[in-house]
Structures are given as structure tokens and as C-alpha cells.
């Protein structure tokens, strides 16, 4: 498998035409009726992170580089002002299944005009609680396979949103980490089967195919609790030479600080799917560029468009981040050929 720069846009042509047509028609209708809504709307959001998590607090800021901040800023640009014509309600599902059910029920009881979800697990929980309230998932890796939508172009039902990767990512992660650590003989795969797409199989097929061509053994490291992180990573510090891959997994995002600290403790190189891990001191990441486009869909839904009529959109660009200081601490000399392809090099 050869890693090439991601295409500028990977959204299906049909989906884009549908979106442009719906956006034009809905916006025209709204302006024809005037810019003042007839009632206070409710935009709800549920997050798997604790509300006091650094990433949650950053997301809640009005920075255009954070998910919820960009949503609020995007809605303002479209005429929606928080506290004037809509209110924003956020709940955290952190704390186990009971907390998840409570948080979801609290939001559903508010009868919001739209619910924004941040992970596959949350989307499934909200869908189980309502078939009528519009749902927009900010990230989902396999919305068709998970039963969220009928198809990407025509979701149907009350759900739509944005995908955050493809199955082929597994093979790309392996290729990239092997370029950084050429002498690896095995690759550890860290994930929580309960919170990663298809219990990990969504990415493992392409990863195992790439491993077979690279003469690298795949060694799975499934975990279910934070207490298992240390042991799961420690065994890859022993011979034969190993590196690790973190799958797309909301559980791993919640525990990103502990994971990154443990890789440093045992000097185990790991590649991650999101820049969140880089912010915590990770070695390298490869994944979709942060593009917060949910404001487009939330706006359309608030103006009357059905969620199921809005096509699911895919990432338009992927980015490679490398921390050269972390690499040096691990005793790695990143090849110039890999550094040249990086979208960002951190020191």
C-alpha cells in the first residue's frame, strides 16, 4: 500500500449536489419568511468526555478550531445567536452505562430541535431513545454498517452527519509507523472492543493485509478499563522490536493522557488517529483534518430540512503530524522522506 496525499475532496458527487440543492432551497425559503424564528430553538449535544476535561473545555470555547466553538460561531454566521433565538444544552455521558442513559434521557426530555453526537457509542444510545428528534453525528466511521443510515447519499430516518475515516486507515497507520521505526517485527493494536467500530474489525482487515506484505506480526491489545493501559503497552517494550497503533476509539480519547504517558514510560512508539493525542505529547498522528461542518446541517435542520434528506459527508483532507522531540526521546531518527510529507512538525 502506498500512502499518497489525500484528495482535496472525498465527498461523493451525488451527496454534494444534494447538499447544494437542499441548502439553496432551504435558505431561500428562510429568507423569504424573514430572519426571526417563531420560538426559541434548542440545540443539544452529548459528549463522552467529562465536562471538566481539557478537550471539552476547549471545545466549549468559541474558537473556530474546536468542534462546539466552531458550531456556535457557524450558527451565528447563519443568524442563530445563543440566548436570543436558540439555547445550547450539553450533557456528558462519562461514567458508565447508567450515566450514558441518564444523559441521553435528559436531552430527549428537553425535546430539542436537533441533537449533536460526538461518537459512535453516543449516536447509538441517542438513536435508541428517539426516532423523531433529528440527530447529527459529528464523527462516525461506519454509519451504514452501524445501522445509523440506509446509505451515505440517502440516509433516511432522523439521522445524518459526517464520517471520520475509512477502513483503509488501518493499513496506512501501519505503513507510516513502519517508516518511522523500520526495524519493527510486530505491531500492537490498542483498542476497546466496546467502543471502536465493529469491535476493531473495521480497521483490522486492512491493517492485517498490510502487515502480511510487510512481514510484521499483528498483536492485538484489547482493553476495557483504564487500569489495563499500563499492562497492554508494557509488553511491547520487550523484544522483538515493536510499535503500536491506536485505533479510532472514544475510550482511548478519554484516556489519551494516560496512554501517551505510558508510551513514554516504556519507550514504545505509537501512531494515533487524532491530533488530540499529539496535544498530549504523542509521537505521530494521521487522520482527518479538523473540519467542523456540523453548523451547515444544524442550520438546515433548524430551518425545516429533514435530517434523513441530508447526505452523510466524508473527510475532505487528511493530515500527518509528527513530534520530532518525542521521536528523539524514543531514540528515533525520523526519515526526511517522512518529515517532508508531514503537514505539521512539532518540536
What residues contact residue 24 under an 8 Å CB cut-off, 6+ apart? none
C-alpha cell at 79: 443568524
Residue ranges, the chain, pLDDT below 50 = 1-36
Contact 128, 108 (CB under 8 A): no
Cβ proximity of 44 and 115 under 8 Å: yes
Tell me what pLDDT residue 59 has: 58
How many residues are given for the chain?
347
Q: d(Cα 100, Cα 138) in Å, to the nearest integer?
A: 18
The reply to whether the predicted model has a pTM over 0.85 is no
Cα–Cα distance, 110 to 117 (Å, whole number): 15
Secondary element (H or E) of residue 72: helix 67-77
Q: Identify whether the C-beta of residue 179 lies closer than 8 Å to the C-beta of residue 210.
A: no
| Domain residue spans of the chain | 13-29+38-165+290-316, 169-287+319-346
Say whether 138 sits in a helix, a strand or coil. strand
Domain 169-287+319-346 has CATH 3.40.50.2300: yes
Tell me the fold of 13-29+38-165+290-316.
Rossmann fold (3.40.50)
Write down the pLDDT at residue 165. 80
Angle at the Cα of 291 from the Cα atoms of 341 and 77, rounded to 5 degrees: 145
Domains 13-29+38-165+290-316 and 169-287+319-346 are alike in CATH topology = yes
Task: Return the DSSP state at 52.
Answer: T
Q: What is the pLDDT of residue 290?
A: 66
Amino acid at each position: 500500500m502506498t500512502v499518497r496525499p489525500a484528495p482535496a475532496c472525498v465527498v461523493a458527487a451525488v451527496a454534494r449536489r444534494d447538499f447544494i440543492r437542499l441548502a439553496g432551497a432551504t435558505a431561500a425559503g428562510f429568507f423569504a419568511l424573514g430572519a426571526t424564528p417563531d420560538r426559541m430553538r434548542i440545540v443539544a449535544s452529548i459528549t463522552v468526555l467529562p465536562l471538566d476535561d481539557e478537550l471539552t473545555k476547549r471545545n466549549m470555547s468559541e474558537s473556530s478550531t474546536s468542534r462546539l466553538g466552531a458550531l456556535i460561531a457557524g450558527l451565528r454566521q447563519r443568524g442563530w445567536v445563543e440566548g436570543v433565538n436558540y439555547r445550547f444544552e450539553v450533557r456528558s455521558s462519562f461514567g458508565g452505562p447508567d450515566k450514558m442513559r441518564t444523559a441521553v434521557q435528559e436531552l430527549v426530555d428537553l425535546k430539542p430541535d436537533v441533537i449533536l453526537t460526538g461518537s459512535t457509542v453516543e449516536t447509538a444510545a441517542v438513536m435508541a431513545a428517539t426516532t423523531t428528534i433529528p440527530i447529527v453525528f459529528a464523527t462516525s466511521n461506519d454509519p451504514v454498517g452501524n445501522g445509523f443510515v440506509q446509505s451515505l447519499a440517502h440516509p433516511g430516518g432522523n439521522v445524518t452527519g459526517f464520517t471520520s475515516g475509512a477502513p483503509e486507515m488501518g493499513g496506512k497507520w501501519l505503513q507510516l509507523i513502519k517508516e518511522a521505526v523500520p526495524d519493527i517485527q510486530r505491531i500492537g493494536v490498542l483498542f476497546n472492543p466496546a467502543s471502536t467500530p465493529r469491535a476493531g474489525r473495521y480497521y483490522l482487515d486492512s491493517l492485517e493485509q498490510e502487515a502480511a506484505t510487510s512481514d510484521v506480526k499483528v498483536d492485538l491489545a484489547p482493553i476495557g478499563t483504564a487500569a489495563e493501559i499500563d499492562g497492554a503497552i508494557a509488553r511491547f517494550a520487550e523484544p522483538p522490536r515493536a510499535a503500536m497503533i491506536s485505533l479510532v476509539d472514544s475510550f482511548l480519547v478519554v484516556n489519551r493522557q494516560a496512554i501517551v504517558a505510558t508510551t513514554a514510560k516504556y519507550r514504545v512508539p505509537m501512531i494515533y488517529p487524532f491530533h488530540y493525542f499529539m496535544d498530549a505529547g504523542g509521537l505521530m498522528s494521521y487522520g482527518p483534518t479538523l473540519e467542523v461542518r456540523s453548523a451547515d446541517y444544524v442550520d438546515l435542520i433548524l430551518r425545516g430540512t429533514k435530517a434523513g434528506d441530508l447526505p452523510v459527508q466524508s473527510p475532505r483532507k487528511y493530515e500527518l503530524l509528527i513530534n520530532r522531540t518525542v521521536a528523539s526521546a524514543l531514540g528515533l531518527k525520523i526519515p526526511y522522506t517522512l518529515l517532508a510529507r508531514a503537514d505539521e512538525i512539532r518540536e
